[in-house]
Structure 1
Amino acid sequence: MPTSQDMTTDPDTGLLDALQHQVAVFARRAEQTRLGGVGQVRNSMDRAAYLLLNRLDQEGPMGVKALAAGMGIDSSTVTRQVAPLVDTGLVKRTSHPEDGRAVVLQLSPRGQARLDEVRSSRRELMAQVTDGWTEEERDAFCTLLTRFNSALSARQGAAGVEAGAEAAPTGAEVPPTS
């Protein structure tokens, strides 16, 4: 079986080195700024909270397991990350409409207003950072970044399934990770 080094030709090596370096620089800069936006909203919502609120806004009320599966993270992580959002009134816990025993998480009106404020601030940051880019350049960058993130997600999902398959007893179903 060819190694990853065998699959990379010499001309690609320089480009792939540059790509991995730029991804590392991007990750550092994104973490430093949290891509938090501009003005008073800058850095005012951490990444986990933003992603959880955004998913609840896009997909509606759901249980912890569904939220975790959709985000490709563990239920205990979601539970831990949602707790301060519930405490601050950004997320509500409500009864499942079909099964009153089950609990679903729902974006509260306060959470919706806060998310809208953060989105607006981050949108302004994106406008400033890409000032001077054409619409086509912004579109191409978004398309490629989305494709890159999807490939990373698929790779993580495949790695989780492989690890789960190795650990699962024969015939056991391995839960999806993404």
Structure 2
Amino acid sequence: MAVNQRSAEELITLIFRLQRQLRCVAQKGADPRSPGTALQGVMRIIGDHGEIRATELAEKLGIGTAGLSRHLSELVTMGYVCRRPHPDDGRAYLISLTPAGTQAVSDEMHRRAALLQDMLEHWTDEEALSASESLTKLTESLQTAIRAMKPGTIQPPIPAGEKTK
């Protein structure tokens, strides 16, 4: 049986609350000289793929190419990311982390994990693993559903004051 409307709404509310708390965790104790939360996210996806086309990276991040270009310029200037022309497509670039970028991602993951461990000191490892399994299932279900959607099927936002049909 499918998830009912009330359960879906509750899940959305809880996900938003979790997002806000995770932003707080990410920012708590962060070195102000290091890449911020948004740039860390860009770096993590690059690190997960080793080397990735800029257009594919923008798609995975859910941002436009102009926004990605700004992020990449900043990361290149900071020495965390490098770009090279795609060998098979002169119009495209391949993006990868520099050794300093790889180290920065690793350091940040360790910092956040240690902070989360402290914050979850009353949890058991089994509870943490159960939460991980639930979040993995939710993420995979959403990814599968999004991939199955045809382009153009997502409706634009409704301007304030207008009613839905």
Deviation at 1:154, TM superposition (A): 4.5
Q: Which residue of 1 aligns with 2:73?
A: 83
Question: Superposed, which structure 2 residues align to 1:1-178 within 5 Å?
Answer: 8=4, 13=6, 18-31=10-23, 33=24, 35-36=25-26, 39=29, 41=31, 44-98=34-88, 102-157=92-147, 161-163=151-153
List per-residue Cα deviations over 1:81-124 (Å, max 9, x = no partner). Answer: 21211111111112335556642111011111211211110111
Identity, % of aligned positions: 23
Deviation readout 1:116-164 (Å, 9 max, x if unpaired): 2111101112211222222221111011122223344455555672437
Greater RCO structure (CA 8 Å; 6+ sep): 1
Q: Which runs of 5+ in 1 are unaligned?
A: 165-178
Q: Which stretches in structure 2 are left out of the alignment for 5+ residues?
A: 155-165
Distance 2:85 2:58 in 1: 18
Cα gap change, 1:25/1:69 in structure 2, threshold over 3 Å: closer, same or farther? closer
So what's the TM-score if we normalise by structure 2? 0.72
Which structure shows the bigger proportion of residues in strand conformation?
Answer: 2
Q: CA deviation at 1:29?
A: 2.3
- Alignment root-mean-square deviation, CA: 3.3
- Decide which structure has greater helix share: 1
Residue identity in the other structure for 2:101: G
Distance 1:126 1:159 in 2: 35
How many positions carry a matched residue from both structures?
154
Q: C-alpha separation between the residues in 1 aligned to 2:69 and 2:22? A: 25
1:120 and 1:139 map into 2 onto residues whose CA distance is: 18
